[in-house]
Homo-oligomer: A and B are copies of this chain.
Amino acid sequence: MKMLRVDMARQQATWEPVPPVYERLGGRALIARILLEEVPATSEPLGPANKLILAPGLLGGTAATCSGRLSAGGKSPLTGGVKEANAGGNAGGDLGRLGIRGVIVEGQAPPGELYVLHVSADRAELVPAHELRGLGTYATAEALKARWGAHCTVICIGPAGERRLAAAGIAVTGEGRQNSRHAARGGLGALMGSRGLKAVVLDARGAPVVPLAEPELFRRASRRFARELIESPKTGKKGSSHLYGTASIVSAVNELGALPTRNFREGRFEQAENLRGETNREITLSRGGEMGTRCMPGCVIACSNVFVDPTGKPIVATLQYETIGLLGSNLGLGTLDDVAELNYLCNDLGLDTIEIGAALGVAAEAGLARFGDKEGFAALIHEIARDTVLGRTLGQGVVVTGRVLGVSRVPACKGQGMPAYDPRALKGNGVTYATSPMGADHTAGNAFGARNEVAPLAIEGHPALTRRLQLGAAMLDATGLCLFARPPVWADPQLMVDLINGCYGWGWTVEDLDRFCRQILRDELEFNRRAGFTAAHDRLPEFMMCEPLPPHNAVFDVPQDDLHAALAGL
């Protein structure tokens, strides 16, 4: 394994051996450590000292199913703290097969210059890319594949990232039609744009198979891992994940009363039925779209879809739960066609649908659009495309939008907009949002899947639960595993240990794995501490502590002191 260090100021890409301090780290774990070692925590996120890190997880590139997620990271332009966001698609697997532990993009290209980083098995170079300026993510990927070959994987930003908007994410190409996956959260697209880097093209053709230290151990574990996923009633071919995708939970979240509706005013949406995964399947298949597709090779779950318009033309792949919650019910929009249209606009500009959905909800609260009026919201996204002051405000995310428009009902933690679970009706997620070093994040420790373990409306029990979930999420994010693939490795961590030992021969125990996960959160919390975060920042917005959420009329009332238990003494 090696590292690729990219100096944007000098336009040099240099291979280097993995330094001892970064050994045995991957994905999110590697990002946290690099930030601690190399980026002053108080530096300006868009200034010269910040670094963009792209890294596969420890299992990236191996034959382990669902292990090819790409982690992107840096000091967040949105939160000012540590940030890792990951995406499916082909990039994580490609980097793993190319033997690259991480790409560290540092410094800034001279003002006005724009580059593409091309990486293949034997070389890495920065290529001027002025012709891509202002292009959307779809056109950028198309142009780069036309130039470098359709087999290449493209990691890129849209105009939002070029303009350094804090709601900008990073898009990654994957399998199938229209496929666009996003490391969306935390403004990492703005960080990439601020380096002067428009895209990374990965050509893994001719890359050798990832070497395995203990091939038998790995193959046995890998086969068991896949088999358990295939045989599971949830993730197997008859499971809801495969049949209905992430949107399979719309009904359940709505039933729970936690579906963000009209800027988090209600927890149930009267048109939720139309937004369900089941409805998506029906519509999509009847129009010639696709359900049960994969975002990365070798995935045995295949939870994706290609949403098409009534004429069969692909709009987005894949239409996901969080997007449906934030761009759908949160805006009072009750058709998947409306959601898909806004989703496409965000994807193409390279914007996080969660952050923008939250910002649009706040804009509607301020009277700039009507809940339920898709045209109004599309017009607001076009303001972002046109780079107007209003558009720039929205593009900076929900907190800046609330500040500028004078709205105090701002659903965010540590500067990041909330995903599609109102924490008043699912208090475990409130604890995660408040305490995660990432800010409000649905992948950092989502209590929805554990709603039968701790009552979502109870005051007690959430901190211990989310501590476990946050550690489990860190494990997935550091190994490159998809959240949907968690059940086998969470149920039996020895399986994960076997995968890692099979690959690397480190002789880890379950205790080593646990230490590894705790160290990730410790590193992240330490970076945030240095950046100026304290327990005072571990909190939900004030309105959620006093404004009851229908239908349960619950407020978020987990005592502030209890929250701190979640990640204490890691």
Contact = CB atoms under 8 A, between A and B. Distances in A.
Interface of A: 41-44, 46-47, 49, 163-166, 389-390, 392-393, 396, 400, 403-406, 408, 529-534, 536-537, 539, 541-543
Contacts of A532: 532-534, 536-537
Most buried by B among A164, A406, A532, A534: A406
Contact of A404 (B393, B533, B537): B393
12 contacts: A44-B541, A163-B406, A164-B406, A166-B403, A389-B390, A393-B393, A396-B404, A400-B404, A529-B534, A532-B532, A532-B536, A532-B537
Nearest to A390: B389
Contacts of A530: 536
A408 B46 contact: yes
Nearest to A531: B536
Given A404-B396, A406-B163, A537-B532, A542 B44 contact: yes
A539 B529 CA distance: 15
Contacts of A408: 44, 46-47
Nearest to A164: B406
Contact of A392 (B42, B404, B533): B404
Interface SS of chain A: loop
Nearest to A44: B542
A156 B534 CA distance: 36
B392 A539 contact: no
Contacts of A163: 406
Contacts of A396: 403-404
Contacts of A537: 532
Contacts of A529: 534
A466 B405 CA distance: 37
Contacts of A536: 41-42, 530-532
What are the nearest 6 A-B pairs in CB distance? Answer: A532-B536, A389-B390, A44-B542, A532-B534, A392-B404, A47-B542
Contacts of A539: 42
A76 B77 CA distance: 23
B405 A403 contact: no
A192 to B, nearest CB: 15
A404 B406 contact: no
Nearest to A47: B542
A530 to B, nearest CB: 6
Which of A46, A403, A541 gathers the greatest number of chain B CB atoms within 10 Å?
A403
A228 to B, nearest CB: 44
Query: Among the interface residues A392, A529, A531, which one has the most CB atoms of the partner chain B within 10 A?
Result: A392
A400 B415 CA distance: 13
Nearest to A393: B404
Contacts of A166: 403
Nearest to A42: B536
A390 B392 CA distance: 10
Residue from the set A404, A529, A542 with the largest chain B CB neighbour count within 10 Å = A404
A541 B44 CA distance: 8
A231 B535 CA distance: 53
Contacts of A392: 404-406
Given A41-B536, A165-B406, 7 more contacts: A42-B536, A47-B408, A163-B406, A164-B406, A392-B405, A404-B404, A532-B534
Contacts of A44: 408, 541-542
A403 B399 CA distance: 11
A6 B443 CA distance: 46
A529 B403 CA distance: 23
Contacts of A42: 536, 539
A225 to B, nearest CB: 42
A199 B44 CA distance: 40
A405 B393 CA distance: 8
Contacts of A534: 529, 532-534
Contacts of A46: 408
A306 to B, nearest CB: 35
A251 B512 CA distance: 67
A539 B533 CA distance: 15
A533 B534 CA distance: 8
A43 B404 contact: no
Contacts of A393: 389, 393, 404
A42 B538 CA distance: 10
